Amino acid sequence: MPIDELGGHFLGSALRIVGRVLLELLFELPVRGLGYAILSRRRRRVREDDLACVVVGLLFWAAVAVLAWLGWRVFVAG
């Protein structure tokens, strides 16, 4: 039975590491990083871990999604 516990702990740790890497690649860089880049052009004091960076990054990607959908409706489906 100790081998089963060891295997379970190893698998849980490996999945946790993979999850963290995916979180960094899919959320931290495109959302928070882009929000920081946009805000740093406007304000002098911006920290990378501000909630405002996340909000601005999410708003930017929401605008991109809406514009892509509208472009598809006009040029492809219309």
State pLDDT tens for residues 9-23. Answer: 888 888 999 999 998
Alpha-carbon gap, residue 56 to 49, rounded angstroms: 12
Q: In this predicted structure, what is the pLDDT of residue 60?
A: 96
Alpha-carbon gap, residue 1 to 51, rounded angstroms: 46
Query: What 3-state DSSP class applies to 44?
Result: coil
Chain segment 24-63, per-residue pLDDT in tens:
888 888 999 999 999 999 888 888 888 999 999 999 999 9
Q: In this predicted structure, what is the pLDDT of residue 78?
A: 67
